Amino acid sequence: MDWFPLFNSLRIAAVSSVLVFFAGIAAAYYAARLPRMLKGALDVVLTLPLVLPPTVVGYFLLLLFGSRRPLGMALESIGVRFVMTWYGGVIAAAVVAFPLLYRTARGAFEAFDETLAQAGQTLGLSNTYIFWRIRMPACRQGIFAGVVLAFARALGEYGATSMLIGYTPGRTATISTTVYQLWRTGDDRAAFVWVLVNLAISAAVLCTVGMLERKQRKGVRRA
Amino acid sequence: MSLSVDIRKRLDGFTLGVRFETDDPVTGLLGASGCGKSMTLRCIAGVERPDEGTIVLDGETLFDAARGIDLPPQKRRVGYLFQHYALFPHMTVAKNILCGLHGEKDKAEKQRRLREMLALLQLEGLENRLPAQLSGGQAQRAALARMLVSRPRLLLLDEPFAALDSHLRDQLQPQFAALLREYGRQAVLVTHSRDEAYRLCSRLCVMDGGRILRSGDTKSVFADPGSVAAARLTGCKNIAPAVRAGAYAVDVPDWGVRLTTARPVPDGLRAVGLRAHAFHPDESANRFAVRWTDAVEEPFEWIFLFRCAGQDAAAPPLWWRMPKDQKPAVPPEALGIAPENILLLT
């Protein structure tokens, strides 16, 4: 059995989660302090990928990165190609998963008690220190939930991924595109194996979340 | 040691316009909630930015809108004790205090100052607790330790006792006052409690609607609050409109009495205030006949409610408050009030 789809799915989900983590937190942090009107407008734009059909997102990505499009051509001239490559899978998964992190992180930032940051400032702590050592830890539960959701969503991404990077065994195949291809070609047994793999990964993710949550609760009680 | 504040800031519903200078050890800002007193403190700390004005501490300009000076809070070296203490919830007491020592690079010195602070504020044994595991008084001491360890030039105290139970408040205030004296730096204390203001502050600014109504040394502010709002904020219970009846006399139509005053009646007199403790049955000055309406027993005091003989029966009664041991066996038929106890309000 060829394990490439598992490896490919994991690397796409991992890399896109990291991208989404930084992009989502930056967007959430600035959105949380915008005036209401602007925030509403930004919210619509940034949440759109969550409600659009993934194939539509894939269509937009092709419009952007297609090899005959200005951006696509410009990127190609410096040797970067997002169509039919695993990097493209990262982009597709990141765009689709981004709103999940953005929304949970923004909720957490909005609930943050600003006097904590101000206390840090009057103590002379730098704004960078305050962000990473005070704001982020205080918001960690919301952000952690967002990361897990984003990772799970990226791992299961199908629509936008298949539009942008298609299905090439050994190059762009992911678990979800593999399941579909195997089923379509009548290889039900192999498809079922990948379904089991998928179930195992999902269960592992959920167990990890549960364990971390328990540990955190206990930590607060005991410490 | 001197602080000079002259700032204006537009806020929802009103404009904050505050101006005071002080070199007193503890200056109080007394006012009802929403009067802008906390906002004033936040502007001094630099976590809020005034629209106009200047803030000068010990000769150093912290803020000057006209000259474009606005030191970030990190550079002001001003300590801020927040109303709910703002301890970092995920850090232990020791780590919270160490946040005030981040500038100290020498590890041994850092530990020494941490130990010193833990001892000073009786936090020994609590250093590994999280803020959620502290009582209100312990949280207050931890926040004080975190603030003091950074050796600020000025202490800003935002309702330091509001988050505590009342019995704890009374118990902790003397310790708190002693600590401020020992630290030896200027402090500005924001409070809505006249008792707290009276006990802790040598100088007082009474605020209402974003402005300072009256400022001066605390005793003189209580003795002569100057305006109706300031009289209420300093706890005066009996206030009624008054008109000038002579150089040392005022008429109070609502109560149907004429009162003789010790001080000359000012121009623009609007009302008089009589503190509930100021009446006396044996006082010969300003005597008037009274009709008793009710009596309220408090743990250590009695409050007698009465109307003056000439007062409309629908008008609110006046309060006379006295210690329990001075309660007369039979309510007197007349009360008097010394001329110097009549607050003339404009």
Q: End-to-end CA distance of chain A, in Å? A: 48
CA nearest B88 in A: which residue?
A116
Q: What percentage of chain A exceeds 70 in pLDDT?
A: 96
Determine whether the interchain pair B80/A122 forms a contact, defined as Cβ–Cβ distance below 8 Å.
yes
Report whether pLDDT(B149) > 50: yes
Nearest CB to B88 within list A116, A140, A220: A116
Contacts 24+ apart (CB under 8 A), B220-225: B222/B194, B222/B198, B224/B343, B224/B344, B225/B273, B225/B343, B225/B345
Residues paired with B168 in a beta bridge:
none
Residues paired with B243 in a beta bridge:
B251
Q: What percentage of chain B exceeds 70 in pLDDT?
A: 100
ipTM score of the complex? 0.86
Give the mean pLDDT of A175-195. 93
CA nearest B44 in A: which residue?
A122
The domain in which residue A167 lies consists of 4-173
Tokens matching residue B5: 């504040």
Domain locations along chain B: 3-225, 236-345
Do A172 and A7 meet the contact criterion of CB atoms below 8 Å apart? no
**Residue A124 in contact with partner chain B when CB distance is under 8 A:** yes
CA nearest B143 in A: which residue?
A119
pLDDT tens by residue, A51-65: 999 999 999 999 999
Measured CA to CA, the distance from residue B124 to residue B142 in angstroms comes to 11
Tokens matching residue B191: 């409070």
* pLDDT at res. A218: 57
Tokens matching residue B241: 């409109």
Would you place residue A223 in the very low, low, confident or very high pLDDT band (cuts 50, 70, 90)?
A: very low
Would you place residue A206 in the very low, low, confident or very high pLDDT band (cuts 50, 70, 90)?
A: confident
Which residues on A lie below 8 Å from B104 (Cβ)?
Answer: none
Give the mean pLDDT of B320-341. 91
Do B35 and B209 meet the contact criterion of CB atoms below 8 Å apart? yes
Measured CA to CA, the distance from residue A93 to residue A87 in angstroms comes to 10
pLDDT tens by residue, B305-314: 999 988 888 8
CA nearest A120 in B: which residue?
B99
**Residue A128 in contact with partner chain B when CB distance is under 8 A:** no
A22 inside domain: yes
Which residues on B lie below 8 Å from A116 (Cβ)?
Answer: 86, 88-89
- Torsion angle, alpha carbons of A188, A191, A196, A197, to 10: 160
pLDDT tens by residue, B58-111: 999 999 999 999 999 999 999 999 999 999 999 999 999 999 999 888 999 999
Which residues on A lie below 8 Å from B88 (Cβ)?
Answer: 116, 119-120, 134, 138
Would you place residue A221 in the very low, low, confident or very high pLDDT band (cuts 50, 70, 90)?
A: very low
Pairing of strands B238-241, B271-274: antiparallel
Distance from CA of A62 to the nearest CA of B (A): 45
* pLDDT at res. A215: 66
A183 inside domain: no
Q: Which residues contact A209 (CB under 8 A, 6 or more apart)?
A: A148
**What type of residue is B77?**
R
CA nearest A115 in B: which residue?
B86
Distance from CA of B286 to the nearest CA of A (A): 52
Do A198 and A158 meet the contact criterion of CB atoms below 8 Å apart? no
CA nearest B80 in A: which residue?
A122
A105 inside domain: yes
* pLDDT at res. B170: 84
Measured CA to CA, the distance from residue B65 to residue B70 in angstroms comes to 7
A13 inside domain: yes
CATH number at residue A46: 1.10.3720.10
The DSSP result for B158-189, as a single string, is ESTTTTS-HHHHHHHHHHHHHHHHHH-SEEEE
Measured CA to CA, the distance from residue A182 to residue A162 in angstroms comes to 14
pLDDT tens by residue, A141-170: 888 888 988 999 999 899 999 999 999 999
Determine whether the interchain pair B99/A121 forms a contact, defined as Cβ–Cβ distance below 8 Å.
no
Counting the structural domains of chain A, the total is 1
pLDDT tens by residue, B51-63: 999 999 999 999 9
Determine whether the interchain pair B73/A129 forms a contact, defined as Cβ–Cβ distance below 8 Å.
no
Would you place residue A217 in the very low, low, confident or very high pLDDT band (cuts 50, 70, 90)?
A: low
Mutation target for B interface from A122, A128, A218: give the one with most B CBs within 10 A: A122
Report whether pLDDT(B197) > 90: yes
Give the mean pLDDT of A2-12. 93
pLDDT tens by residue, B208-238: 999 999 999 999 999 999 999 999 999 999 9
CA distance readout (Å), A3 to A15, A88, A169, A171, A194: 19, 20, 10, 12, 10
**Topology (CATH) of B3-225:** Rossmann fold (3.40.50)
Measured CA to CA, the distance from residue A117 to residue B249 in angstroms comes to 56
DSSP letter for B326, please.
Answer: G
Nearest CB to B146 within list A118, A123, A220: A123
pLDDT tens by residue, A20-55: 999 999 999 999 888 889 999 999 999 999 999 999
A46 inside domain: yes
pLDDT tens by residue, B255-308: 999 999 999 999 999 999 999 999 999 999 999 999 999 999 999 999 999 999
A19 inside domain: yes
Q: Residue with structure tokens 């800003």? A: B156
* pLDDT at res. A44: 92
Report whether pLDDT(A210) > 90: no
**Residue A136 in contact with partner chain B when CB distance is under 8 A:** no
Which residues on A lie below 8 Å from B90 (Cβ)?
Answer: 137-138, 140
